[in-house]
Structure 1
Amino acid sequence: MSTTSSEVLAFPNIRAIVRDNGTAEVVVAGNSRIVPAGESLQDLRNNALALVVGEAQTLNRPVRAQIEDPEGHGELIVHPDNRIESVSYEVRPARRRAEASEPAPETVAPAVIETVPAPAPEPVAVPAEPAVAAVAAVDRRPWPPNPVTLDTTPAPAVATEEAPPTRRSLKETSFLVGAPVLEPATQGWRGALTRLGFRMDPSAEELSAREDIRTVSQHWPGPRTIAVVNRKGGANKTPTVVMLSAILARYSGAATVAWDNNESQGTLGWRTEKGAHDRSVLDLIDSSTELLSPSTNAAEIAKFVHHQTADKFDVLRSDENEEGDHEVTAEEVDIAHRVLTRYYRLVIMDSGNTARAANWRRMIDHTNQLVVPVTAIEDRAEAARLTLQTLESRGGHDAELARNAVVIVSESTDAKRAMSGDALKRAKDEAQRIADGFEPFVRAVVRIPYDPALVNGPIRYEALQPATQRAWLAAAAAVAKGF
């Protein structure tokens, strides 16, 4: 079926621009998209047209595209099924073969291309000075079209019966424009001017923060498990679990639980808000049959977890019985994980310091994303390195987790307490040295500035300084990219 330019909607405005320096872009409703490079000018044209075809497929209808390249400019009609029709194409004067002394050829009105297969035309004589003429029928990449030269001998007029107009289907059009709208600035002096009525575009820093928020706000199919590990105590494992849980729960809205998978007694319960009961992971395991029953209401899980009212995630505590001697087994990790992934989309696991423990190793079996926190102190960094080395040496799933790990480096608290300018600089330099050391071996490394709100007592996201909140947002985005 042929399409005339008047039948194709003029929006969104699409321009395909190919430059003689080997670059190209496709601009859709004012938004520029860089075209992948090619080995030739025609490769660039093909790559640009592929982007326009994608836009037609998104809109599920033909679109018009203005084209421009070093040889000329014109207009195409691009269909979702990859058919492309040339409406017009005008060669740049500098590339015409006509002599300057000769009169310019008459401009021939561009013809609409009929894409219904037709027999090949008989060859015709090529005059000395070809005129810009109607373009032959094509079904792929007619950019630029090869002009068909015409015999200048007048042909007798042939009466043709005009086809009756047909009504188009509403399925072939849309009034929606897919281009996203850039919201005005909300932060800094740009945000202040926007609130005063002067619309300002966001800064690069604000755009970066928006992208991180978009990353952590996404939903993914099925539950995900994050393991936070380091064989050395005092490496910031528990604060890391709390902060990742708070940010991912706040922004994604996904049901999130922080699980203290210490083999005996951990500290996650000490750094978070306590609920109206004393139940722990052992109570959840004992009630697993009931909790896994199809008839059990989703709200029943609240009997075993401790909700964080401000940060919107739950905590499953480890056993806090001072007289108890039970250590969680690998089979019990399986049971608890099966229960939690029924009620939560995101499980973030704190861990003990023994990589040989059965519950530690089984945690790794269930892990989708590994996070290795480290404070900027040599022995903590060395313990983190040995943790990753142990996993890598085991091969398979464990080695893949190590290679895809996110390392989070926090500045030393001891140097901050000194409040000395030299001590602060040394702390920052040491954090950077450790971060640089891990970078070649893992997927991402994120640095976190010192913040007194993370040192003692319950941890709350809102209690952090803005720079610390921003750094943890970047860390959570790096983690979420691994989902």
Structure 2
Amino acid sequence: MLVRSSGEGGETWFTVSAEGTIAVAAHPDEASKEVPTTTGERPRATSAESRATSHAVPAVPVEVDTNTPETRRKPSAADFGSHRAERAPGPAEEGWRGVVNEMSGHAFRLPPSCAELQRRAWRAAAQRGLSGHKTIVFVNLKGGATKTTATFLVGATLGRVRGGNVLAWDNNENQGTLEQLSMAASHDNTATDLLANIDRFAIPSNSPELTNYMRPQGENRFHALVSQNEASNQEVIDGSAFVQLHGMLRQFYHLILVDTGNAATASTWQAAVEIADEIVLVALNKRDSTKKLAATVDILIAQGLESKLARGVLILTEPAAPARKGSNRDKASDERRGYIAEHFGHYVRDVVNVPYDEALSEGDEIVYENLAPATQRAYLAATAAIVDGL
């Protein structure tokens, strides 16, 4: 097809082939000789054709070399060897399905339920490998917010599911309560006693003496380091002492869980949140507990610790037994839980709800086997989420 364009510089003729190729022609006769058109075919219009002016030369299509060799990396033997086909889940081990499989001598191999598959996924997440030592700090400036309980039960879950060297450390600036929840030891030494003898652990051969300060927690497979056992209005271990102790303890423990106190101005609290790899929020589903937690978050954000919060979770525990379904207390609790999740969801990766458990109501030594299955599942979910953040 022959196209004419007129402008201040005179007339210019273009030819457009059926394939959309454009060429400049000096004269209509020359143009018609260059690109003959086939009868019955309509050449495709181009944007250059519709916008042709005397001030612009239409663009000529660029041919692409389709024979250019690919530049992608070829798979190596390591790639081939690392490939694993997705395995079908093993037979059920829990619930009535697990009972049937067990009683049949595994002649039956009923598949696991969705709930069991979820628990297996949580266990796998909690067992994930980590790049070096990690410290997790549990915070809420409100006393009685279940910080110590959460520290103990995440430690117990890690010990039972993951194993390894796990330490729960009561870093209350005055007197903490981890000692009340933990199994007793053959000694009554605390963090202050360890601090007084810290120089001995500069010599590697003295490392077995650490057992004289730690409290093994039996089947929970973690150690507890408790705070001083006398109440005081003064900081017994300050920030610099905490850093000194932490530097020594990280040589012996892969994971350290730190239970903090209730004063953001305390140097030991400041040192703990600064040294943490991840910050975990803890609260009861009560207005006073979550209101204080919101203030705690504001303080952490003001100190530039938002990224540590973003890796963490909120463990939200019900303060009382469930109310009658549809009652005013039940509706108020559900509404508050939703508002809490919405607010703190802007700062943490996940919110894990823990049901009320009579076995935890007295504040005495925690016996893991006495916990309700729902509580054990909730702490498994919380632990998996915490490890995901690391």
Deviates more, 1:455-464 or 1:354-363: 455-464
Q: Which has the higher contact order (CA 8 A, sep 6+)?
A: 2
Q: Which residue of 2 aligns with 1:375?
A: 284
1:402 CA drift (Å): 2.4
Counterpart of 2:378 (choices 461, 471, 477) is 471
1:150-165 correspondence to structure 2 within 5 Å: none
Q: Secondary structure at the match of 2:298?
A: helix
Superposed counterparts of 1:140-219, under 5 Å: 179-195=86-102, 196=104, 197-219=107-129
| Percent of pairs with identical residues | 31
CA contact (8 A) 1:260 1:266 kept: yes
* 2:168 is equivalent to residue 258 of structure 1: yes
Per-residue deviation, 1:216: 0.9
Is the 2:315–2:354 Cα contact (8 Å) retained in structure 1? Answer: yes
Q: Distance in 1 between matches of 2:154 and 2:264?
A: 22
Show the counterpart of 2:357: 451
Spell out, residue by residue over 1:441-480, the C-alpha distance to the aligned partner (whole angstroms, 9 max, x if none).
Answer: 3211111111111222111222111111111100000001
Aligned to 2:295, what secondary structure does the other structure show? helix
SS at 1:278 equivalent: coil
What is the letter of the counterpart of residue 185 of structure 1? A
> Which residue of structure 1 aligns with residue 139 of structure 2?
229
Q: 1:442 to 1:213 in 2, by over 3 A?
A: same
Offset at residue 203 of structure 1 (A): 2.1
Where does residue 8 of structure 2 map in the other structure? none
CA contact (8 A) 2:126 2:384 kept: yes
Larger Rg: 2
Q: 1:338-361 CA deviation, whole Å, 9 max, x = no partner?
A: 121111111101111111110000
Q: Distance in 1 between matches of 2:84 and 2:231?
A: 63
Give the superposition deviation at 1:427. 3.1
Native 8 Å contact 1:412 1:427 kept in 2: no
Distance, in Å, in 2 between the alignment partners of 1:326 and 1:400 is 28
Q: 1:320 aligns with which of 229, 234, 242?
A: 229
**Residue matched to 1:358:** 267
Instruction: Report the secondary structure of 2:206's partner residue.
Output: coil
Q: RMSD of the TM alignment (CA)?
A: 2.6
Task: Find 1:442's aligned residue among 348, 351, 360.
Answer: 348
Query: Residues 419 and 459 of structure 1: is their aligned pair in 2 closer, same or farther, counting only changes over 3 Å?
Result: farther
Residue 248 of structure 2: SS of its match in structure 1? helix
Question: TM-score scaled by structure 2?
Answer: 0.75
Matched-pair contact (CA < 8 Å) for 1:410–1:431: no
Structure 2 counterpart of 1:460: 367
- More helix per residue: 1 or 2? 2
The amino acid of 2:281's aligned partner reads V
Hey, what's the Cα distance between the residues in 2 that align with 1:302 and 1:231?
A: 31
Q: Deviations over 1:20-51 (max 9, x none)?
A: xxxxxxxxxxxxxxxxxxxxxxxxxx9xx99x
Corresponding pairs, count: 315
Q: Could you tell me the TM-score, scaled by structure 1's length?
A: 0.61
Aligned to 1:409: 316
In 1, distance between residues paired with 2:143 and 2:231? 20
In structure 2, relative to structure 1, the CA distance for the partners of 1:371 and 1:54 (3 Å cut) is: farther
Alignment of 1:44-193 (within 5 A): 57-60=78-81, 179-193=86-100
Deviation at 1:326, TM superposition (A): 4.9
For residues 262 and 125 of structure 2, the distance between their equivalents in structure 1, rounded to whole angstroms, comes to 31
Distance 2:334 2:219 in 1: 31
